[in-house]
Chains A and B, each alone.
Chain A
């Protein structure tokens, strides 16, 4: 998605965080507390940057942290990125068209009802229902039919093989519910006033705008295999509070009101790191801040002009000044943490190089003939508009880009607009250059949305029309194995960042956690967007 102002960033963020990395990812070190003996009890106070939402993925796509802990999925993923059984083991037929899921015995919902194959069948039926509200029913489009085999076994038949199915079943969007409770509460109240999952925590209280409280499920005995604590969680419960303002969220943990917060004010990160009371963990977000062009408007339709801009961008000062160093330089839409997808060559395609940029502009016929330091376009002074959403981070970014473009003789004019207007103008094609952003666990999907000519104008806002790109995207979609898919994803990066330059990545922001030293066993890593709570315990004050 581009700026996509209609989709609130907060919402997108919640949505995307809930899915998971497609690739294996390096585990980051957690707080050094593993040696001590866990203590049972205590309520963890967790400060969120995103407001908690209803915990029913069938009725919304906005998800919240607690969803991870309230529900379990059939499949889970290890910190090193392998998909392994959680609620169920599975077997796949030789042709890849039938998957059989066999539930582990003895698993119970919060209500005490046993988890049976009927719940699994019900889930698949809901997920694939073409009339349903499920936002991700497209992911289930390969599912043809579902049938109960016995008390614990479910058979899922596919229309065509889908190598991506374990990923789909792993995300919080495939959480398993008790169909009886769901029917009793109705889809509006389910996930709000009550839930019935199998997770290590149960919903205790949900007051939007104030707090979300979950408490330990004492019956829990089916933790994922890779966590140390196989019994019920150590914590009595977790209180989530939402802080819209980074500064007050930061103050809350510094004042001792919170035990963990996400996203402190960037300027404070170094100070917090130096504070012996806290551990700070940061990892790249599956996101990128970009800028892109309207490729239907001259002179942006000339790739040499776009490439010149790509050469003019100096990313380090942007990250240092805007993000106080809390970001990663981006040369590909795909963040380097997506190891299987990421194409490292992208860093060398268009490095910062003023001379080359000027040469490219000259080749494209953009020259400074009147000696004012800025190039003319079609013989007239040229001051192209850069549309900027009126948010301070983006406005600052635009100012730096403006200064950097001036070095190659392009005089950008920053036009600040509200989100609605930017959305309208991009859809109408009434723009030249813009900043963009996405936050989503599948950069491959983003490239499909942003670059496929069939997606003009709604998601392909740069109006990129490239037969080669279309061909690679179609190949990616048709892949039957993961390695094949990865090959095409890399080819897309090579084409986009090595030649087309319709989208120029600038930086990948970081997910930052500030954790009080009271908290033990909390280990965010790139393989889990919502770090698990099974091993977390609180030292007695």
Chain B
């Protein structure tokens, strides 16, 4: 297992390079003059050319990439074209926020969703099941922005229990984490339910009953452990999504995370940021998948590493 993990980690290095090349080339394919971004819409042709030279855009793409990688290894990812901030600083500022929001949202989602899914499966076709799955359906169907604004309206504007926006304290985290977590709760609950139902149909469950085990032990030890294995593989996807994909929630709650940074930078064609953030997210997704694979293998010893 350790060897497997080391091998996968070693593989990350070329993968990171490939991701960075793809992102780099893609950013240069966008038919927008970054010179305009520096200078605004009123720039003259001559000023644009100056800007291009300053940004090194007059060089060929391989030369530009080489220069980028060289400076990146010295810890310099360049400066945001728009704000002028160093990209490393922007990333340092947003990564902890994204991890905190994403981590809380996922933890919340999984902690609620797994028991919910199990209960729904065990009580299949009862009111409990229908209630839980109705909740899940709502969770999947409600758009993030609507839910977010609704929660703000109720808990921040009317009840004044929680702040509507911003970051810094645990109270600030609650509404965005719930908003972001709900759709994951819904997805995971449904997945858990169907997974549990599938496991319940398996032969070994009958053996467990035949052995005279208590129902609780059968469901919460045996069935659950079997059923969460496919759910773990979802986690790998969710980690990537929740870090980079929380744009809407970050926007609604003015949460200073990576998702909003990335999307705003894409819209503005602020490519030093886009370049760095996308590469980082790519590596993060690979790491998340590795983590999911390791967890998966730990839970199911049939998986050979």
- Whether the complex brings A and B within 8 Å at their CB atoms is answered yes
Chain A residues, CB < 8 A from B163? 255, 257
Chain B residues, CB < 8 A from A210? 93, 167, 256
A533 CA to B282 CA, complexed, in Å = 44
Q: Is the CB of B156 within 8 A of A251?
A: yes
Q: Is the CB of A209 within 8 A of B264?
A: yes
Question: At the interface, yes or no: B73 with Cβ under 8 Å from chain A?
Answer: no
Question: At the interface, yes or no: B222 with Cβ under 8 Å from chain A?
Answer: no
Q: Is the CB of A206 within 8 A of B38?
A: no
Chain A residues, CB < 8 A from B230? none
A206 CA to B42 CA, complexed, in Å = 26
Question: At the interface, yes or no: A188 with Cβ under 8 Å from chain B?
Answer: yes
Contact flags A1-37 to B (C-beta < 8 A → 1, else 0): 1001011100110010000000000000000000000
| Interface size range on A against B | 35 or more
Chain B residues, CB < 8 A from A252? 164-166, 254
Q: Is the CB of B260 within 8 A of A209?
A: yes
Chain A residues, CB < 8 A from B253? 248
Question: At the interface, yes or no: B160 with Cβ under 8 Å from chain A?
Answer: yes
Question: At the interface, yes or no: A256 with Cβ under 8 Å from chain B?
Answer: yes
Q: Is the CB of B84 within 8 A of A59?
A: yes
Q: Which of A74-82, A238-246, A359-367 contacts B (4 or more CB under 8 A)?
A: A238-246
- The main secondary structure of chain A at its interface with chain B is loop
Chain B residues, CB < 8 A from A245? 145, 251-252
Closest A residue to B51 by CB, please name it: A133
User: Which of B80, B84, B165 is packed against the most chain A CB atoms within 10 Å?
Assistant: B84
| Interface size range on B against A | 35 or more
A15 CA to B41 CA, complexed, in Å = 9
Q: Is the CB of B84 within 8 A of A7?
A: no
A340 CA to B83 CA, complexed, in Å = 36
Question: At the interface, yes or no: B286 with Cβ under 8 Å from chain A?
Answer: no
Question: At the interface, yes or no: A131 with Cβ under 8 Å from chain B?
Answer: yes
Q: Is the CB of A56 within 8 A of B84?
A: yes
Question: At the interface, yes or no: A208 with Cβ under 8 Å from chain B?
Answer: yes
A255 CA to B252 CA, complexed, in Å = 14
> Given contacts A15-B40, A209-B93, are A189 and B156 in contact (CB under 8 A)?
no
A4 CA to B40 CA, complexed, in Å = 12
> Given contacts A192-B84, A210-B93, A255-B157, are A248 and B152 in contact (CB under 8 A)?
yes
Q: Is the CB of A188 within 8 A of B165?
A: no
A6 CA to B31 CA, complexed, in Å = 10
Q: Is the CB of A60 within 8 A of B84?
A: yes
> Given contacts A56-B84, A208-B83, A210-B256, are A133 and B39 in contact (CB under 8 A)?
yes
A224 to chain B, nearest CB (A): 27
Closest A residue to B153 by CB, please name it: A251
Closest A residue to B41 by CB, please name it: A7
Q: Is the CB of A248 within 8 A of B164?
A: yes
Q: Is the CB of B42 within 8 A of A251?
A: no
Chain A residues, CB < 8 A from B140? none
Contact flags B68-112 to A (C-beta < 8 A → 1, else 0): 000000000001101111000010011000000000000000000
Contact flags A128-160 to B (C-beta < 8 A → 1, else 0): 000101011010000000000000000000000
A245 CA to B149 CA, complexed, in Å = 10
Question: At the interface, yes or no: B267 with Cβ under 8 Å from chain A?
Answer: yes
Closest A residue to B40 by CB, please name it: A61
Q: Is the CB of B93 within 8 A of A207?
A: yes
Question: At the interface, yes or no: A53 with Cβ under 8 Å from chain B?
Answer: yes
Q: Is the CB of A8 within 8 A of B84?
A: no
Q: Is the CB of A135 within 8 A of B50?
A: no
> Given contacts A192-B84, A251-B156, are A207 and B164 in contact (CB under 8 A)?
no
Q: CB within 8 A of B79: which of A12, A53, A135, A188?
A: A188
Chain B residues, CB < 8 A from A51? 82-83, 264
Chain B residues, CB < 8 A from A1? 41
Question: At the interface, yes or no: A539 with Cβ under 8 Å from chain B?
Answer: no
Closest B residue to A212 by CB, please name it: B83
Chain B residues, CB < 8 A from A207? 85, 93, 256
A217 CA to B165 CA, complexed, in Å = 28
Q: CB within 8 A of A251: which of B51, B93, B157?
A: B157
Closest A residue to B156 by CB, please name it: A255
Chain B residues, CB < 8 A from A62? 40, 82
Q: Is the CB of B165 within 8 A of A251?
A: yes
A18 to chain B, nearest CB (A): 11
Contact flags A105-138 to B (C-beta < 8 A → 1, else 0): 0000000000000000000000000010101101
Q: CB within 8 A of B260: which of A53, A56, A244?
A: A244
Question: At the interface, yes or no: A254 with Cβ under 8 Å from chain B?
Answer: yes
A149 to chain B, nearest CB (A): 31
B305 to chain A, nearest CB (A): 39
Q: Is the CB of A256 within 8 A of B160?
A: yes
Question: At the interface, yes or no: A54 with Cβ under 8 Å from chain B?
Answer: yes
Q: Is the CB of B261 within 8 A of A191?
A: no
Chain B residues, CB < 8 A from A230? none
Question: At the interface, yes or no: A420 with Cβ under 8 Å from chain B?
Answer: yes
> Given contacts A188-B79, A208-B90, are A61 and B42 in contact (CB under 8 A)?
yes
Q: Is the CB of B251 within 8 A of A248?
A: yes
A499 CA to B286 CA, complexed, in Å = 63
Q: CB within 8 A of A247: which of B40, B51, B149, B160?
A: B149
Closest B residue to A258 by CB, please name it: B165
Q: Is the CB of B164 within 8 A of A8?
A: no
> Given contacts A60-B38, A252-B164, A255-B157, are A8 and B267 in contact (CB under 8 A)?
yes
Within 8 A of B (CB), among A47-78: 51-54, 56, 59-62
A52 CA to B264 CA, complexed, in Å = 12
Contact flags B131-166 to A (C-beta < 8 A → 1, else 0): 000000000000001001100110011001001111
Q: CB within 8 A of A188: which of B84, B90, B153, B260?
A: B84
Q: Is the CB of A53 within 8 A of B82?
A: yes
Chain A residues, CB < 8 A from B50? 131, 133
Q: Is the CB of A248 within 8 A of B149?
A: yes
Chain A residues, CB < 8 A from B165? 241, 243, 248, 251-252, 255, 257
Q: Is the CB of A255 within 8 A of B164?
A: yes
Closest B residue to A52 by CB, please name it: B83
Chain B residues, CB < 8 A from A56? 84
Question: At the interface, yes or no: B61 with Cβ under 8 Å from chain A?
Answer: no
Binding site for A on B (CB under 8 A): 31-32, 36, 38-44, 47, 50-51, 79-80, 82-85, 90, 93-94, 145, 148-149, 152-153, 156-157, 160, 163-167, 251-254, 256, 260-261, 264, 267-268
Binding site for B on A (CB under 8 A): 1, 4, 6-8, 11-12, 15, 51-54, 56, 59-62, 131, 133, 135-136, 138, 188-189, 191-193, 206-211, 241-245, 247-248, 251-252, 254-257, 420
5 contacts between A and B (CB under 8 A): A1-B41, A191-B84, A206-B83, A248-B254, A255-B160
List 8 A-B pairs, minimum CB-CB distance, nearest first: A61-B40, A255-B164, A210-B256, A255-B156, A54-B84, A7-B41, A192-B84, A208-B83
Known: A15-B40, A61-B43, A255-B160. 19 other contacts (CB 8 A): A6-B41, A8-B267, A8-B268, A15-B42, A51-B82, A60-B38, A131-B50, A133-B38, A133-B50, A135-B40, A206-B85, A208-B80, A209-B90, A210-B93, A243-B165, A243-B254, A248-B252, A251-B149, A252-B166
